Each structure stands twice: as structure tokens, then as C-alpha cells.
């Protein structure tokens, strides 16, 4: 089962290493890990998707809390959340019906972001299952290359996660 954890961490050298170590040592499988800036200077936000049960997720959170550079943790497994994933997919256009490809683009809200002689590159954004579904439809057409950002997520409603100095 997938489990989503948000960690606000100090933007310092080696922090990613320390976080990764928690997963490596206990052999927890990371489904995806994204890191980016926040509005607060010096604070980065990680979205970690784990393939784990509730108990393992609790262990991970406990160990992450122990890291000095980890400021806040939120377990999104516990409530409604908005989640998005983004994929760039390069699909072959030669040798088959281009119209079929354009139909997929049309029906799935994908964007064409680049066109080559032999290929077309699509951007797909949405809930991870949506991205999965679009990729499944593109596969028979011949995927040449693909990259996914991994999931970013945020709790729904007015509560906000912040690392304000208290």
C-alpha cells in the first residue's frame, strides 16, 4: 500500500543523504521522492511515497523526526489530500496512425510540449492513477522515453504545514 509523507527539512548539504539513510537501513521501499523549495528561505519540502503498511510508515516517521535537520513531518495517509504527478512521455509518431495519438492527447488532457520528426513529447499531469492510465494508453503506440516527477501532495482544507520557528 502506498503511503505519502511530507517532510519539511533544512536546506543544508547532506540532508537528502540523512533522509535516504533512514529508508536504506530499514530497507523501506521508496516509491517516489521529490524535493523542492518552499516559501520559507532555507526550508525544503520532501514528498515521500512509500510502499509500506501503517506500522512501517509509523517507524519511518519516528526515525525521520530524530533527524536534526527535519523540521516538520506530516503523514498524509491520515486524511484527504491533493496529489499530483507529472510525466513527460516521448512517443513514436512514425509508422502508425498519428490521429490515434492525437485522440489520446485530446481525451486525456495531455499537452504536446515538443514535436520531432519521429517523435512527439507529451506532458501529462494529474493524480497518479490518471497519469498511469494515460501512459497505459500510450504504451501500444510506442513509448521511446519517459520521465515522471513522482508525486507531490498537500493536505486539503485550510490547515497548512509550516516550519515557522517557534
Partner 1 sequence: MTDVIRTVHTAGMPTQRTGAQTIWECLVHEGVTTVFGYPGGAILPTYDAMLDYPIHHVLVRHEQGASHMADGYARASGQVGVAIATSGPGATNLVTGIATAQMDSVPMVCITGQVPSHLIGYDAFQETDITGITLPITKHSFLVTRVEDIMPAIKQAFFLAKSGRPGPVLVDITKDAQNATHQWEWDPQPVKMRGYRPAQSASRPELDKAIALIRSSRKPVILAGQGILQSGAMREVKLFAERVNCPVAMTLLGLGGFPASHPLNIGMMGMHGESWVNHAIQEADLLLAFGMRFDDRVTGTLKTYAPHAKKIHIDIDPSEINKNVRADAAIVADLRETLRELLELVPACDHASWLKYIGSMKGESAVRDIQTLPDNGHLYAPHVINDIWRLTGGKAIVATDVGQHQMWEAQYYHHEEPRSLITSGGLGTMGFGLPAAIGAKMARPDAEVWAIVGDGGFQMTQAELSTAAQEGVKVNVAIINNGYLGMVRQWQEFFYERRYAATPLRSPDFVKIAEAHGLLGLRVDKRPDVEGIVQRARETEGTVLIDFRVEQEDSVYPMVPQGAALDAMIRRPEPSALVETAADPI
The dihedrals phi and psi of 50, each to the nearest 5 degrees, come to -110, 145
Q: Is 75 a residue that touches partner 1 (CB under 8 A)?
A: no
Count of residues binding partner 1 (CB under 8 A)?
21
**Surface-to-core class of residue 27, CB atoms within 10 Å of its CB (0-12 exposed, 13-18 middle, 19+ buried):** exposed
- List the one residue from 11, 16, 63, 84 that touches partner 1 (CB under 8 A): 63
Q: Which of 10, 11, 123, 127 is in the footprint of partner 1 by CB under 8 A?
A: 10
Give the number of C-alpha atoms closer than 13 A to the C-alpha of residue 37, restricted to the C-beta side.
4
User: Does 14 participate in binding partner 1 (rule CB under 8 A)?
Assistant: yes
Beta strands in the chain (DSSP E): 2-10, 30-37, 43-51, 70-75, 81-92, 111-115, 119-126, 143-148, 152-155
- Closest to 48 measured CA to CA, from 40, 66, 70: 70
Indicate which single residue of 5, 6, 9, 141 sits in contact with partner 1 (rule: CB under 8 A).
9
Q: Which stretch binds partner 1 (CB under 8 A): 5-13, 76-84, 93-101, 119-127?
A: 5-13
Interaction of residue 18 with partner 1, rule CB under 8 A: yes
21 vs 147, beta carbon nearer partner 1: 21
Nearer to partner 1, 14 or 95 (CB): 14
Q: Would you state the cell numbers that stand for residue 69, as one nine-digit string?
A: 535537520
8 Å CB contact between 10 and 46: no
| Beta carbon of residue 27, minimum distance to partner 1 (angstroms, whole number) | 13
Closest distance to partner 1 from the beta carbon of 159 (Å): 20
Neighbours of 124 (CB within 10 A): 24
Residues that bind partner 1 (CB under 8 A): 9-10, 13-14, 17-18, 21, 25, 58-59, 62-63, 65-71, 163, 165
Amino acid at each position: 500500500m502506498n503511503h505519502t509523507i511530507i517532510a519539511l527539512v533544512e536546506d543544508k548539504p547532506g540532508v537528502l543523504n540523512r533522509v535516504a539513510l533512514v529508508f536504506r537501513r530499514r530497507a523501506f521501499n521508496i516509491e517516489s521522492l521529490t524535493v523542492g523549495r518552499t516559501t520559507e528561505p532555507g526550508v525544503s519540502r520532501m514528498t515521500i511515497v512509500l510502499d509500506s503498511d501503517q506500522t512501517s510508515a509509523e517507524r519511518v516517521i519516528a526515525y525521520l523526526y530524530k533527524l536534526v535537520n527535519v523540521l516538520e513531518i506530516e503523514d498524509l495517509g491520515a486524511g484527504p489530500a491533493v496529489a499530483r504527478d507529472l510525466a513527460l512521455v516521448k512517443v513514436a509518431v512514425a509508422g502508425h496512425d498519428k490521429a490515434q495519438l492525437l485522440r489520446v492527447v485530446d481525451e486525456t488532457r495531455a499537452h504536446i510540449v515538443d514535436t520531432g520528426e519521429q517523435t512527439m513529447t507529451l506532458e501529462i499531469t494529474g493524480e497518479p492513477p490518471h497519469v498511469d492510465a494515460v501512459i497505459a494508453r500510450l504504451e501500444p503506440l510506442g513509448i521511446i522515453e519517459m520521465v515522471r516527477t513522482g508525486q507531490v501532495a498537500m493536505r486539503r482544507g485550510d490547515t497548512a504545514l509550516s516550519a515557522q520557528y517557534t
